[in-house]
Amino acid sequence: MLQSSTAALARERAQLEPVFKYVDQHADAFVERLRTLCQQPSVSAQNLGLEETFAMVEDMARGVGAKTRRIDLDGGPPILHARIGTGARTLQLYDHYDVQPPEPLELWQHAPFAADIADGRIWARGVSDNKGNLVARLCALEAYRRALGELPLRVTLLFEGEEEVGSPHLRQFTDSPLGRELLAVDGCIWEAGYKDPVGRPTVALGCKGILYVELRVRSAAKDLHSSWGAAVPNSAWRLTWALGTLKDARTGRVLIPGFYDRVQTPNDRTYALADREPFDAAQYRTLFGIADFLHEWDGREARRHYLFDPTCTICGLTSGYQGPGGKTVLPAEASAKLDFRLVPEQDPDEILRLLRAHLKAGGFGDVEVEEVEGEGERAARTDPDAPIASAVVETARELYGLEPLVLPNMAGTGPQYVVAGQFGVPAVGMGVGNADSNNHAPNENIVIDDYIQGIKHMAWVLHHFAAA
Amino acid sequence: MLQSSTAALARERAQLEPVFKYVDQHADAFVERLRTLCQQPSVSAQNLGLEETFAMVEDMARGVGAKTRRIDLDGGPPILHARIGTGARTLQLYDHYDVQPPEPLELWQHAPFAADIADGRIWARGVSDNKGNLVARLCALEAYRRALGELPLRVTLLFEGEEEVGSPHLRQFTDSPLGRELLAVDGCIWEAGYKDPVGRPTVALGCKGILYVELRVRSAAKDLHSSWGAAVPNSAWRLTWALGTLKDARTGRVLIPGFYDRVQTPNDRTYALADREPFDAAQYRTLFGIADFLHEWDGREARRHYLFDPTCTICGLTSGYQGPGGKTVLPAEASAKLDFRLVPEQDPDEILRLLRAHLKAGGFGDVEVEEVEGEGERAARTDPDAPIASAVVETARELYGLEPLVLPNMAGTGPQYVVAGQFGVPAVGMGVGNADSNNHAPNENIVIDDYIQGIKHMAWVLHHFAAA
């Protein structure tokens, strides 16, 4: 990566002192602003509270001085686009105002939309993924402008409301003339980032793609007495057997012919980035409560597979009787939710075709495959030498006092390809989460100190990227 | 089977005319009596309403003149035992006052505990299995005694409250000195029977055994973001793969070593009974809404497999996210409910041991196996020449005007071995259901005319068995 001098960074820190002071003085208010947003449910999978949340986010953006624009999508919640600042460069901040469903509710120690503060953390669905980042960025814009005056660059905000369901309507915007105009920027800060278990800030230079499908079998018009299991097809068995053909129990390899055809082994530099900082396998094992990683991989191996392997994951199974005790029923219907995390060059549309062909060829033509989250996402990967990448890494190193963990890509997914990658815009993920943030799981949380640091980091990135 | 003369049966019918008249005159009241019992939920799997239902059944038994006895079980709902009548022979009527869970509720066209009357039927959870039979038998005792005086034989009632969860506490009674004394009878009418799709009454000379287990996998302390699927074990995959080792997708054969070791091919007479009356495969296909039976079996084949094959049936699957839309989660827990229907000589305890050993040997030591419904049940089979079998068949033939369908055994299960089989007591199933009764499924129902006929049939069986 390009290197700024230590002196230059020290000078920037001095210039930013008033901004950091403003952040510290307004820390409580910034926390309350985030809590308020988290208390408003916005579950895209359940079409819950999206319009209300859009209105709150729009108000917040106006509140820090941005000029907002509502972009309506046919069949989905609106996008908020906003502009603020002047200068040579344009930096886009991509976030989403929707969150994952909170279920299973009984496993939460704090109500998911209460945004309780406890143990120095804020606990809420979406506080890490991604409302904490969204609000931190707005707070950074406010702090910079109040402390130092107008921003030294153009910032655009792009806040969408369907990221957690695969952004199924986003292409209406990204593929439109307006989208192409607004998305032509010099760099993009991507939604998320976290501190790893030893406290290092992570910086992600891309993300995986995704295909999310539901497999469904209907074997009869109604549930039957299970004694008929001797003579009548059973949807749950059909589903189980069909799933068994998708992934090898011993190797974990996906068995769909053609699945790996376009997968390229990462180059040495990419592996080196991944390996540079060791992955504390023991710490993750404790965090996750797992006996071991797959195949007893050590930290380096687990990390490489996590970052670079395409996956096929059962996210949910449902069939028949699931209550207490026993019910002797032959279930008429069974379904599974599956996600495939994809790596660069894999095309979700192609994987869907391969999956359907494989099931049909294997005698599972009775297993319906429906894509759940729209059109899937392609993977994206950013050049480590891009100016926005350097800006994020160098300022993180200075601010946090630790060498950041630069990930060639996140293991997660987002519409980075359609928003940035397809236009050649380098995108870099950073954010306020932690290794125990429980994204997509019960007890999602962020550490308040991380949130305050994240606001400062965002301000520094703006300053540095404008000057570089 | 032993044959009574046509003249003798005609004489019996004439003797019973006052009983049948009483039944017809009290048909509305008998229907209301049944509706009242069905309106009281008694879901043993959910420990719901059992004591209340026991009290209602006890009142009903007393109301027809029986001397009742409450038999408490440690950890389960009480058994009602009752005596009525005098004579040389003792006939036991076995029924249960508990019902299956009503879920999934949204598929019911009438509320499951409303006991609505529509289209000449009563719609309620448990109306066919088995409250309709229980009340019909009490009505038969009342009608006989009111019309003809005291019963010509001793009748004992044995009504338990946990049949639908495998009677896990029943052996406390059946294996006790009191149980051995009370269960030493000359014949037993078993709980259930139905008209087949062309209206023939079925008579069942036994039932299958059962083992009901829950398989559970816990792969992590909490649900994780599904991106971890590349490196962290997934409970849903582990469960899917483990299930896949239990049953062959192509042949449908159970793959647990030793599972078939004790299974004996039925003898020619048993096959002949099963084959005597053709099984209308097309009619069942329509009823069930299935494209075909397994392996495109024709009616005779499907019927033989239904009656004589031991099974391994997935009754339920649950893991991860099951709501609308998508949630990208790596599920920490997955479970399956499985029932094995067993044939004579198969021992549920042994099958459980074989299952556990098979999973362990196959590398699935992480899959816990817990028996859901107590100790399992062994299969039971009654000699077609037993006097109670002849009594049921001959009177059914006369009353219904159709040749009854005599089944060597039901495909379903009950504690017939512990209640009757182990004491050498012949047990015969008969009842008021129909081929579309939806036992264990939504929209359970019986036809009111079948119920009234069933009361008359029971009265005739008492009369005939006492005289034979």
- State the SS3 of B121-178: EEECCCHHHHHHHHHHHHHHHHHHHHHHCCCCCEEEEEEECCHHHCCCCCHHHHCCHH
Query: Cβ A326–B305 below 8 Å, yes or no?
Result: no
In this predicted complex, what is the ipTM? 0.79
Residue B259's domain spans which residues?
209-263+310-371
Q: What is the DSSP letter of B430?
A: -
CATH code of B134's domain: 3.40.630.10
On whether both B190 and B172 belong to a single domain, the answer is yes
On whether both B47 and B165 belong to a single domain, the answer is yes
Query: Cβ A441–B294 below 8 Å, yes or no?
Result: no
Q: Mean pLDDT throughout A376-392?
A: 93
* Residue A142 CA: distances (Å) to CA of A57, A60, A150, B185: 14, 10, 10, 89
On whether both A249 and A321 belong to a single domain, the answer is yes
- Asked whether residue A285 is assigned to any structural domain, the reply reads no
Query: Cβ B290–A341 below 8 Å, yes or no?
Result: no
Query: Cβ B236–A314 below 8 Å, yes or no?
Result: yes
| Whether the Cβ atoms of residue B314 and residue A234 lie closer than 8 Å to each other | yes
Query: Cβ A341–B101 below 8 Å, yes or no?
Result: no
On whether both A127 and A178 belong to a single domain, the answer is yes
Contact status of A1 with chain B (Cβ, < 8 Å):
no
- Asked whether residue B79 is assigned to any structural domain, the reply reads yes
On whether both B191 and B241 belong to a single domain, the answer is no
On whether both A324 and A196 belong to a single domain, the answer is no
- Asked whether residue B134 is assigned to any structural domain, the reply reads yes
Q: Helix or strand or coil: residue B110?
A: coil
- Asked whether residue A1 is assigned to any structural domain, the reply reads no
Q: Is the dihedral of CA B92, B98, B104, B109 positive or negative?
A: positive
Query: Cβ A288–B208 below 8 Å, yes or no?
Result: no
Contact status of A103 with chain B (Cβ, < 8 Å):
yes
- Show residues of chain A in contact with B247, CB under 8 Å: 237
CATH code of A215's domain: 3.30.70.360
Please tell me which residue of chain B has the smallest CA distance to A243: B240
On whether both A76 and A157 belong to a single domain, the answer is yes
| Whether the Cβ atoms of residue A27 and residue A451 lie closer than 8 Å to each other | no
Task: Tell me how close the Cα of B40 comes to any Cα of chain A, in angstroms.
Answer: 19
CB pairs < 8 Å spanning A and B: 332
Please report the residues numbered 305 through 324 in chain A whose beta carbons come closer than 8 angstroms to any beta carbon of chain B.
305-306, 309-324
Task: Tell me how close the Cα of B45 comes to any Cα of chain A, in angstroms.
Answer: 5
Please tell me which residue of chain A has the smallest CA distance to B303: A231
Question: How does pLDDT run across A7-45, given as a tens digit for each residue?
Answer: 999 999 999 999 999 999 999 999 999 999 999 999 999
- Asked whether residue A425 is assigned to any structural domain, the reply reads yes
Comparing CA positions, the residue from B390, B379, B463, B400 lying closest to residue B428 is B390
**Separation between Cα atoms, residue A278 and residue A299, nearest integer Å:** 7
- Show residues of chain A in contact with B328, CB under 8 Å: 100, 164, 210, 212, 313, 315, 339, 413, 440
- Show residues of chain A in contact with B227, CB under 8 Å: 208, 306, 311, 341, 410-413
- Asked whether residue A429 is assigned to any structural domain, the reply reads yes
* Residue B410 CA: distances (Å) to CA of A228, B281, B309: 11, 17, 11
pLDDT at B231: 96
What residues have CB less than 8 Å from B366, skipping those under 6 apart? Answer: B217, B219, B238
Residue with tokens 């994987």: A351
Question: How does pLDDT run across A284-293, given as a tens digit for each residue?
Answer: 899 899 999 9
Q: Mean pLDDT throughout B145-152?
A: 97
Query: Cβ A229–B334 below 8 Å, yes or no?
Result: no
pLDDT at A114: 97
Statement: residue A1 has pLDDT above 60: no
Q: What is the rounded (10 degree) CA torsion for B145, B431, B182, B142?
A: -10
**What is the DSSP track for B164-214?**
GGT-TTTHHHHTSHHHHHHT--SEEEES--EE-TTSPBEEESEEBEEEEEE
On whether both B173 and B85 belong to a single domain, the answer is yes
Question: How does pLDDT run across B203-256, given as a tens digit for each residue?
Answer: 999 999 999 999 999 999 999 999 999 999 999 999 999 999 999 999 999 999
Query: Cβ A438–B302 below 8 Å, yes or no?
Result: no
pLDDT at B125: 98
Residue A170 banded pLDDT, cuts 50, 70, 90: very high
Q: What is the DSSP letter of A249?
A: T
On whether both A112 and A14 belong to a single domain, the answer is yes
Task: Tell me how close the Cα of B435 comes to any Cα of chain A, in angstroms.
Answer: 11
- Secondary structure element (H or E) that encloses residue B412, with its range: none
- Asked whether residue B290 is assigned to any structural domain, the reply reads no
Domain count, chain B: 2
Reply yes or no: is the peptide bond before residue B101 cis, omega within 30 of 0. Answer: no
Residue A105, number of CB atoms within 10 A of its CB: 11
Q: What is the rounded (10 degree) CA torsion for A13, A19, A23, A24?
A: 60
On whether both B157 and B255 belong to a single domain, the answer is no
Statement: residue A374 has pLDDT above 70: no
Please report the residues numbered 197 through 236 in chain B whose beta carbons come closer than 8 angstroms to any beta carbon of chain A.
208, 210, 212, 214, 219-234, 236
- Asked whether residue A302 is assigned to any structural domain, the reply reads no
On whether both A221 and A243 belong to a single domain, the answer is yes
Query: Cβ A441–B329 below 8 Å, yes or no?
Result: yes
Reply yes or no: is the peptide bond before residue B47 cis, omega within 30 of 0. Answer: no
Q: What is the rounded (10 degree) CA torsion for A12, A18, A19, A25?
A: 150
Please report the residues numbered 5 through 64 in chain A whose beta carbons come closer than 8 angstroms to any beta carbon of chain B.
44-46
Structure tokens belonging to residue B194: 């139905």
Residue A375 banded pLDDT, cuts 50, 70, 90: low
Structure tokens belonging to residue B359: 């999973």
Expressed in angstroms, the distance from the first to the final Cα of chain B is: 13
| C-alpha triplet A138, A467, A68: angle, nearest 5° | 30
Question: How does pLDDT run across A347-358, given as a tens digit for each residue?
Answer: 999 999 999 999
Comparing CA positions, the residue from A200, A137, A197, A193 lying closest to residue A401 is A200
On whether both B228 and B343 belong to a single domain, the answer is yes
Please report the residues numbered 104 through 123 in chain B whose beta carbons come closer than 8 angstroms to any beta carbon of chain A.
104, 107
- Show residues of chain B in contact with A331, CB under 8 Å: 314-317
**Separation between Cα atoms, residue B124 and residue B43, nearest integer Å:** 13
